[in-house]
Structure 1
Amino acid sequence: MNSISMQRDIIVDWQAQHERLFGLHAIKLRHRLAESELFSRQAIGRLIERCPQSHLGLESVSFDGDTPRRIYGELGNSTGLQAIEAIEKGRIWMNIRRIMDWAPEYNELLNEIFAEFEARMSGFKTFKRNIGVLVSSPNAKVPYHADIQGQSLWQISGVKRVFIYPRSDVFMPPQNIEKILLRETNEDVPYRGWFDEFATVFDLHPGEMLTWPLYAPHKVENHDCLNISVTMEHWTQSTWNAYAVHYGNGVLRRTLGLRNTSTQDHGLHVYPKAAAAALWKKLGRQIEGDVVKSRDFRLAPESANGLAALS
């Protein structure tokens, strides 16, 4: 089958209490995406080949020097299936971004999924939805970070261990959220080893998905196997309000030196902070992010670690 029939639910174990928990607590649910041919290894290979270059992210880690650093790569001449073979050998992450923009069958699926969520949760309305696919190596790790919109992670093959940390100022101070929103840093934020004592840990198997609260920090560790996962993002009015408030707080902190500003995502204070955020962007003060200025490697399925350095 090319897509999942609406005759059967995509989420297979939804319970009434999940409506009250969604967006406020980490929830693990079972899903049927792994049954769809849209996510077979062959289909993912074709997706890699169709993906516009600007939407295909490849990362690894270089251990040259004293401190490990992120390095960025390109597909090179590899086919989609060869790319997966290379990733299976190394310590590589591939992010196939914004699939709904250029693959209509995945956009249709994305709409089906959120129609299902909205039918199950009164007043739950979403916009700016996004779907992507992650292909990552055995034992690959994603460091401690936070995201700026509603997130869910859907496992297709392989197993991931996901650490979800409390959504509090101890683990994610407002100043760190502001830095992410203003693109003064990437999504990675300061981490201490003792944080793990307070994490909720999930092993995510094929056919399982996980969602967690907005701005809740998390990290991910693959088991010793290739992982293929689907990521989904969405915005709601409350998500946008939280973004505007934190962004506006960051602007006011940098321009007027204000401290201890409210982070509540409702109330009259949302509107002036949203205006401050809009003005900051209009004036071009936001630091441009997500632009890779150089490529360090290409995928090389014939090599022992799946990559070759670019000269």
Structure 2
Amino acid sequence: MTTDKIFTKWDETHSQLWAHQPIRLEHEMHRSPVFSIDDLAKLIEGYPREHYSLVQTGARGGKKLWREGDIGNLSGREVIDAISRGGLWLNMRNVAAVDARYGRLVDRMFEEIVAKVPDFEIPKGHQESILISAPDAQVYYHADMPGQSLVQIAGRKRVYVYPNSAPFITAEHLEDIALFNVEVDLPYKEWYDDHAKVLDIGPGQMLGWQMNAPHRVENLDTFSVSMTISYTNDEIRRSEIVHLANGMLRHRFGYTPKSRNLRGPSYFAKAVMQKLLRDGKWVKRERDARRPIDFRLDKAQPGKLVDLPKAA
């Protein structure tokens, strides 16, 4: 990188709006060698299977399509080439656990934010994901449980950020996200766009927005590399526990939860319940059913998808 600083422009309005409204910031992370094509290709090769998603989505304006696949035995360069041909994006989750350089970069980012934003504390945990996507790729309307930022490295995106309130997002939606781990199942209506803040970003820009705000993303006809950053603190973690427990009560036991308290007896009872059940067979079965792997990339024909047999 050409400078020791992550952010190149930050004023008082950014400090006041951080985590309260969608904001666009200027950064230098795109200049780091960890985002070179060579380094990204090496990262892809041997990436832990449980930590990546290869997704095919439908064309913009067309029918919704969401299929998950496998990169097969392609090299990192071949995967990037296949993605660049269209219709695909690769999400490498928890990248700092595979290559610590990405985590150190984000540590520096949060150190700068803490120095600039009143009452913001270093997160108790953060997780980075690298997104590599085709010129025509999109990410459907969805929301995330933790705090979120989107860092653009290469290419251009258009991001629609919606209010984090009903009807755009409800407590029941958040329960489903926490339980089933599939954010893109949120219901979406075209008129929602009338209430979205629309921001275009390119290399050297990043976005932050308010907690749980739904959003969707369209690539602007350019091959794209970006990094998403998820972060938690005590309040966020407690909220995740309650949403997961309430989702279990609703879907597993047929009980409509009445409390969303983050403290007190009901919270502690739910914390114990979700800890006992979250790694159980029922949760795993429900999540796997919503994320089947049904194609792989074809090494012989770049960009071609090979359908896999459906699981019995």
TM tier, shorter chain?
0.7 to 0.9
**Structure 1 runs not aligned, ≥5 long:** none
Partner of 1:228: 225
Specify the SS of the correspondent of 2:144.
coil
Q: How does 1:34-49 map to 2 (within 5 A)?
A: 34-49=30-45
- Describe the superposition over 1:142-165 as per-residue Cα deviations: whole angstroms up to 9, x where unpaired: 111000101111111111110000
Specify the SS of the correspondent of 1:85.
helix
Residue 275 in structure 1 maps to residue 275 in structure 2: no
Partner of 2:186: 189
Partner of 1:101: 97
Separation in 2 of the partners of 1:259 and 1:290? 21
Q: How much has 1:211 moved relative to structure 2?
A: 0.9
Separation in 2 of the partners of 1:261 and 1:57? 34
Paired AA for residue 77 in structure 1: N
Partner of 1:294: 293
Partner of 1:115: 111
Q: How much has 1:24 moved relative to structure 2?
A: 1.3
Residue 141 in structure 1 maps to residue 138 in structure 2: yes
Does the Cα contact within 8 Å between 1:62 and 1:71 map onto a contact in 2?
no
Q: TM-score, normalised by structure 2?
A: 0.85
Percentage of matched positions with identical amino acids: 31
Does the Cα contact within 8 Å between 1:72 and 1:295 map onto a contact in 2?
yes
Partner of 1:16: 12
Specify the SS of the correspondent of 2:41.
helix
Does the Cα contact within 8 Å between 1:297 and 1:307 map onto a contact in 2?
yes
Deviates more, 1:78-87 or 1:196-205: 78-87
Partner of 1:240: 237
Deviates more, 1:89-98 or 1:108-117: 108-117
Does the Cα contact within 8 Å between 1:161 and 1:201 map onto a contact in 2?
yes
Specify the SS of the correspondent of 2:68.
strand
Does the Cα contact within 8 Å between 2:155 and 2:225 map onto a contact in 1?
yes
Residue 162 in structure 1 maps to residue 159 in structure 2: yes
Separation in 2 of the partners of 1:205 and 1:36? 16
Residue 198 in structure 1 maps to residue 195 in structure 2: yes
Q: How does 1:49-64 map to 2 (within 5 A)?
A: 49-61=45-57
Q: How much has 1:181 moved relative to structure 2?
A: 1.4
- The structure with the largest helix share of the pair is 2
Residue 151 in structure 1 maps to residue 148 in structure 2: yes
CA shift in 2, pair 1:50/1:262, >3 Å: closer
Does the Cα contact within 8 Å between 2:136 and 2:219 map onto a contact in 1?
yes
- Describe the superposition over 1:89-145 as per-residue Cα deviations: whole angstroms up to 9, x where unpaired: 020010111111121222222222222222323442302211111001111111110
Separation in 2 of the partners of 1:31 and 1:290? 36
Cα RMSD (Å)? 2.8
CA shift in 2, pair 1:68/1:125, >3 Å: closer
Residue 209 in structure 1 maps to residue 206 in structure 2: yes
Paired AA for residue 24 in structure 2: K
Deviates more, 1:11-20 or 1:167-176: 11-20
Does the Cα contact within 8 Å between 1:300 and 1:307 map onto a contact in 2?
no
CA shift in 2, pair 1:104/1:125, >3 Å: closer
Separation in 2 of the partners of 1:299 and 1:118? 46
The count of aligned residue pairs is: 300
Separation in 2 of the partners of 1:187 and 1:114? 27
Separation in 2 of the partners of 1:212 and 1:260? 28
Specify the SS of the correspondent of 2:91.
strand
Paired AA for residue 45 in structure 2: E
Q: How does 1:246-285 map to 2 (within 5 A)?
A: 246-250=243-247, 257-258=255-256, 261=259, 268-269=263-264, 272-284=266-278
Partner of 2:305: 307
Separation in 2 of the partners of 1:299 and 1:230? 26
CA shift in 2, pair 1:293/1:113, >3 Å: same
Does the Cα contact within 8 Å between 1:247 and 1:277 map onto a contact in 2?
no
Q: How much has 1:293 moved relative to structure 2?
A: 4.5
Separation in 1 of the partners of 2:181 and 2:130? 26
Separation in 1 of the partners of 2:71 and 2:107? 29
